[in-house]
């Protein structure tokens, strides 16, 4: 009994960490969309628009994960993977350098994984009842 309550508590904590993180990610994406680049000479390129589009969809999936943690987490990861594949098809190289990982991939993947883990832990609790 105490073990299952511990798992439920961990699931709730992970879910709230993921929720706060998803709000921060969504706010950052909105800020990038709304705030113009003061040094830009022209509008965004196709690559930048596609990356931003996948980032918007990944952020929406994280907000979707508030209600459905498993599907929102999977969708967010899927949009990040689509972003990586799109970048590969456009440029012919994988975007696996440190800046791309830290700024464009990890902020979406970490809360998505936390949502999936919290769903799994809470699911185990409900199966035992």
- Rounded Cα–Cα distance for residues 48 and 87 (Å): 10
Q: What is the pLDDT of residues 94-104, one digit of tens each?
A: 656 666 667 77
Query: What are the sequence ranges of the domains in the chain?
Result: 7-35+44-128
Q: What's CA 106's distance to the chain center, in Å? A: 8
Q: What is the pLDDT of residues 28-56, one digit of tens each?
A: 988 888 877 777 777 777 777 877 888 89
Place of tokens 């990890």: 106
pTM for this model (two decimals): 0.83
Neighbours of 76 (CB within 10 A): 28
Task: Name residues whose C-beta falls within 8 Å of residue 118's C-beta, 6 or more positions apart in sequence.
Answer: 11, 12, 14, 15, 18, 69
């Amino acid at each position: 009994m105490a073990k299952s309550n511990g798992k439920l508590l961990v699931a709730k904590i992970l879910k709230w960490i993921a929720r706060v993180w998803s709000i921060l990610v969504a706010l950052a994406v909105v800020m990038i969309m709304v705030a113009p680049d003061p040094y830009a000479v022209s509008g965004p390129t196709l690559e930048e628009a596609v990356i931003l589009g996948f980032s918007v969809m990944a952020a929406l999936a994280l907000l979707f994960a508030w209600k459905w943690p498993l599907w929102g987490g999977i969708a967010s990861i899927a949009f990040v993977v689509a972003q990586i594949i799109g970048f590969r098809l456009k440029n012919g190289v994988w975007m696996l350098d440190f800046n791309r990982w830290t700024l464009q991939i990890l902020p979406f993947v970490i809360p998505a994984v936390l949502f999936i883990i919290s769903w799994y832990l809470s699911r185990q609790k409900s199966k035992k009842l």
